[in-house]
Chains A and B, each alone.
Chain A
Amino acid sequence: MLEITHLIKSYGDAAPVLKDLRLKVEGEQVVSVIGSSGAGKSTLLRCINRLVEPTSGSIVLNGTEFTTLGKRELRTARRRIGMVFQSFNLVDRLTVMENVQSGRLGYISTWAALTRNYPKDDIRRAFELMERVGIAQYANKRTDELSGGERQRVGVVRALMQRPEILLADEPTASLDPKTSEQIMGLLRDLASELNLPVIINIHNVGEAKEYSDRIVGMRYGKIIFDDLPAALGTEEMDAIYSGTPADERPSMGAAA
């Protein structure tokens, strides 16, 4: 279970990007976070595994408070959170297998990583997962030879190699064509239930968000203003999430501060 409370993130003296967020995700829920660009979706996701340092607040994953972890503890704790990226962030010049195994770098020694001496269990798991998402035949190919959809599958398998307790996906389909995009969303949903894994997805495509998730969180300029079942997301709610500009929010912020 992931529980975020009072999460605030601000850069310098500017108005905070995240304003006192509260979010709880449990079970094998697929949660989609929607909102216009600059609403803070990506910052929220990156605060969870501290790729972005939260300013204040608490993030607890299955009993571990993430915000107070030291450097070394954070490194080992990060293994418990898988992340999938919009631009895949694969290492182009390495093979698919090396990319997949890079999800295990937090567990194996640097020497084993350098010599590509991966544990048998990890290799077996890699082939199982690659088989599951349909990329096993590419194990020895360089990732830059793959198509977008295939590359994102590598990204998903890499994250799952960590045996994560939660999966974060930061606009995983934004660089993909509509059809591939749906396949990836379907895959994330299926994997969530197969692996009993909660998944948080940042997404721009509201249609896909409604179709593939169990719950939708709508963000607007650093606040969560909608949090309900996909069916509850109507035109009115959509307008509230997507209308306005950050400038409109500022006077009220000034008053609040």
Chain B
Amino acid sequence: MLLMGFDRNNPAAVASRNAPVAGAETLPPFGASTARDLSARFLPPLLAVTSVIGIWWALYLIYPRLLPSPLSTVAEAIRLVTDGTFFFHMYQSLRRVFVGALAAMFFSVGVGIYMGTVMMGERFFQPLVVLGLTIPGLMWALIAVMLFGINEFSPYFAVTVTIFPMLVINIWAGVKSLDKELIDMSHVFHFTKRMKITQVILPQLVPNIFAATRYGLGLAWKVVVVVEMFGTSNGVGYQVMKSYQVFNMEGVIAWTLTFVVAMIVIEYGIINFAERRLTAWRPKIDVWRR
């Protein structure tokens, strides 16, 4: 929609679009450009995945007792998905990740903005954040289960406290690089505090919030899986542990695989989509254009 508006309203843009690319007439005639674009886009990741499977297969052929075959593992993964086990346990894990991550996000945006704008806030929270960063997620997982026992609060707590300092650091850094001129403008035009936060400050923090979300979700998964291994009776972590206890390597790898696929869907499907929507105001930048 944005690009359509751009073309229609800006005669200069229309002109530059229709103009031939400088030096284009000297380019050698390559094949169909769409085919080239597609192969350039999908070939490298396909090659990466194929090479991992190739190495796995080779290792399976050399040490058949140590590793399960890729085929039987994929068959196991398909069974998990088709009989619904996967969806039930994945839902449990996802819920824990998202509730914990949302709570952490909520607190970290508040604390990050406070640290970046009030000197006392920075002095108070900085040592706590540094301390929090040094404590491994595994420790929080153990502490949470010991403190709250085997219930739903333990994974929520562990995820929130593990990723909170990392999110705060990102948002705090973002607040420190806020555009002072825009803040001054909002003051001059009598913006209310609420308008300043929602219309001027938060939109500037969008890149930081996305960076923090990506990293935070990755970390949250790891913590949730650990908590589930010994603190819950369902979820992906619990299933991996169950497979481990009967030395079912196929099960362990099949669960890990399905879990990775779910992560990729979230990253490319949800986060990328949301980021594109929220940064649509920015013209596309091509740094390496020749």
Indicate whether A and B interact: no
Q: Which B residues are within 8 Å of any A CB, using their own CB?
A: none
Which residues of A approach B to under 8 Å, CB–CB? none
